[in-house]
Structure 1
């Protein structure tokens, strides 16, 4: 018995169409902002203005801001705070942590225990302002560039400090180049 295999030419039209679609996708859909590769747990969002009630609780003048929402009872939040505190040492972006719950003395005691020295004790009395941003749990983190939230993540940030720092510096450089 003889087996004949028929070779067909690939459908060039289909390949070209797929290539065109890929080329038309915005880079943000691929997890990138311009030339800055986005860490895996962060997702680009349709940019929106950083709400005033958050702006009132954060400090700094940098164009790039990271805001993390946390609570004393949240173990992943407590594991993440030292990373955020280390990143807060950088002058090219701002790192803020906003506690959910009105327990300033307990926040200060936890910061002392974890040796947190660069984060503020800012807080919301309840979860509603965070829920209004689309978050359903904590830790939750957003990244804003020029007061526009561009990235969000929910859950523990597992990306290394070095990679996060590189990304945030890249976002700051990209923003500076856009305004020049």
Structure 2
């Protein structure tokens, strides 16, 4: 099982590598750092998986949308505007959007933060920095191969996991199942 997860992550990183080359998005080695990173322009909360777990099981009657993404992942970047639109249009309906970046820590200042600022991302963005992917990926969802993008939508104990890209209409359809 662990070998399969490693292979899946290598495949994801490899498939996104060609896109990174075409669009000048760096793919560098992951460096562990679980402290908060603070910049003049943007505060970025950084969690290891133990700290992140609190976001996975909230029982507060809100619909939680957690999207795992990275700046080097073309399908992730393509769907981000739909999560932003969802955040804007559904916040008053008790929908909470959380964007979990899996970018490499040494690129937070040079790639991630400028991307968030340049794209005017208003949803909450945090970074997940935990190199032991084999242990935490199955804790997020047992069916997750590790590829990106991935999204969890849940409300209390009701939960759905998606290892796919979304359009806004698809997101809206899924969210409305939790609101009705």
TM superposition score normalised by structure 1: 0.55
C-alpha deviation, 1:75, in angstroms = 0.7
Deviations 1:103-139 (A, max 9, x none): 4323221112222122323323334423432322110
C-alpha deviation, 1:172, in angstroms = 2.2
Matching of residues 10-159 of structure 1 within 5 Å: 53-56=52-55, 63-89=62-88, 90-91=90-91, 92=93, 93-100=95-102, 101-102=104-105, 103-105=107-109, 106-126=111-131, 127-128=133-134, 129-132=136-139, 133-134=141-142, 135-136=144-145, 137-146=147-156, 148=157, 150-157=159-166, 159=167
Q: Tell me what 1:172 maps to.
A: 179
Runs of 5+ in structure 1 lacking a partner?
1-50, 174-180
Distance 1:130 1:149 in 2: 19
Distance 2:112 2:57 in 1: 16
| Aligned CA-pair RMSD | 3.0
In terms of fraction of residues, the more helix-rich structure is: 2
Q: Work out whether residues 99 and 122 of structure 1, in 8 Å CA contact, stay in contact via their aligned partners in 2.
A: yes
Q: Work out whether residues 142 and 151 of structure 1, in 8 Å CA contact, stay in contact via their aligned partners in 2.
A: yes
Distance 1:164 1:122 in 2: 22
Q: Radius of gyration: which is bigger?
A: 1
Distance 1:94 1:124 in 2: 22
Kindly report structure 1 stretches of 4+ aligned residues shifted beyond 4 Å: 56-59
Instruction: Check 1:121–1:169 CA distance in 2 against 1; reply closer, same or farther (3 A cut).
Output: same
Q: Work out whether residues 142 and 149 of structure 1, in 8 Å CA contact, stay in contact via their aligned partners in 2.
A: no
What is the aligned length?
120
